[in-house]
């Protein structure tokens, strides 16, 4: 059985009269890349804030690590990226040195190590002068500083160009496979998340409406690739045989289609 590293049980949260989370149940297992998806304002960031202790919740139960571990202790195992929390007048290295001190990291080479991982070790200038892609990568570098067991990434590919998106995707996969990090990631770019995550939690109407694995997602449509010498006649023959062609040129089921099918009527 998979070992749970983060468990949310019936978490409820309101901002005044606005109820955001109506009872979220979620389990993240060791080694997971868990994709959290949902429309804007559905509560994805609130879930992250609750896990990180940045936001309180009205009821429910949150466990980080083993049962009974104090939350403050559990949170020390988490590295996170929830936005560019850096000093604009400092360089990448200086910012990470600051956070390294906050995380009580004694190893002087750690900052250099993470800068190399995100390919920012040769970055010049201050944070305020960096491009969006550099800022995102520095955010991830900060998240992995100290080699945390769990990584929380909120919209890490926001504002990135296609190459930047691919770089972040490859980085996440490397961190998961090479460094054994458990990753929870949210993104609006579903097609991108589909390539990265093992499981997807779909947040809708204040709850995790569905959790689906890569395999389950792939099994929702049967897709067979056939090569024909006459496409027109092949399509005609299929039609005559009573076969409906649902789409063309997809080689895997799309997370985007699955998501929109699920929330149909709620949007």
Partner 1 sequence: MLWYMRADLRRISRRIPRLIVLALLYIALVTVLVSISREDVQIAPLMILCEHYVVGFLPLVIGTIEMAVILGDDFRAKIMQQAIGMGISRTKIVLTKLIDLACLMLVDIVVFGVLVFAANGVFHLGMGVDTVRELLLWLVGAWVKSVAYGSLSLILGFYSQNALFAILAFIALSSGIANKMLGMALGVKALSALHLGRFLLTSEINTFFTRALLGHFDIASLIVILVYIVGGAAAASWLFKNTELEL
Question: Where on the chain is the footprint of partner 1 (CB under 8 A)?
Answer: 15, 45, 49, 52-56, 72-73, 75-76, 78, 80, 82-90, 98-99, 101-104, 142
227: CB partners within 8 A, 6+ apart: none
- Looking at the Cβ atoms of 90 and 262, the one nearer to partner 1 is 90
Residue 57 Cβ vs partner 1, minimum distance, rounded to whole Å: 11
Cα–Cα distance measured from residue 32 to residue 35, given in angstroms and rounded to the nearest whole number: 9
Residue 202 Cβ vs partner 1, minimum distance, rounded to whole Å: 22
Q: Which helix (H) or strand (E) holds 97?
A: helix 92-102
Residue 207 Cβ vs partner 1, minimum distance, rounded to whole Å: 21
- Looking at the Cβ atoms of 96 and 197, the one nearer to partner 1 is 96
Strand order in the sheet with 4-15: 18-29, 4-15, 59-64
In the chain, which ranges are E strands?
Answer: 4-15, 18-29, 33-37, 59-64, 78-81, 150-154, 182-186, 199-204, 207-213
Residue 50 Cβ vs partner 1, minimum distance, rounded to whole Å: 11
- Looking at the Cβ atoms of 144 and 253, the one nearer to partner 1 is 144
- Looking at the Cβ atoms of 22 and 90, the one nearer to partner 1 is 90
Angle at 92 between CA 88 and CA 98, to 5 degrees: 80
């Amino acid at each position: 059985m998979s070992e749970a590293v983060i468990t949310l049980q019936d978490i409820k949260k309101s901002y005044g009269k606005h109820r955001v989370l109506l009872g979220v149940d979620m389990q993240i297992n060791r080694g997971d890349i868990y994709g959290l998806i949902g429309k804007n304002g559905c509560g994805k960031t609130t879930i992250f804030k609750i896990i990180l202790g940045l936001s309180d919740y009205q009821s429910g139960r949150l466990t980080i690590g083993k049962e009974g571990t104090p939350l403050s202790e559990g949170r020390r195992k988490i590295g996170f990226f929830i936005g560019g929390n850096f000093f604009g007048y400092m360089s990448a290295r200086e910012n990470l040195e600051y956070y390294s001190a906050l995380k009580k990291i004694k190893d002087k080479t750690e900052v250099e190590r993470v800068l190399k991982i995100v390919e920012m070790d040769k970055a010049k200038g201050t944070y305020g002068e960096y491009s969006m892609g550099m800022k995102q990568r520095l955010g991830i570098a900060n998240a992995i500083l100290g080699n945390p067991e769990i990584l929380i990434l909120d919209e890490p590919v926001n504002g990135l160009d296609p190459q930047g998106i691919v770089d972040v995707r490859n980085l996440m996969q490397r961190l998961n496979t090479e460094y054994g990090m458990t990753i929870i990631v949210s993104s609006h770019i579903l097609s991108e998340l589909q390539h990265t995550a093992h499981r997807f939690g779909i947040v809708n109407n204040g709850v995790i409406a569905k959790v689906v694995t890569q395999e389950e997602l792939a099994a929702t449509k049967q897709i067979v690739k056939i090569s024909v010498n006459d496409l027109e006649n092949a399509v005609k023959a299929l039609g005559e045989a009573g076969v409906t062609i649902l789409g063309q040129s997809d080689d895997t089921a799309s997370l985007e289609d699955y998501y929109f099918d699920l929330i149909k009527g709620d949007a």
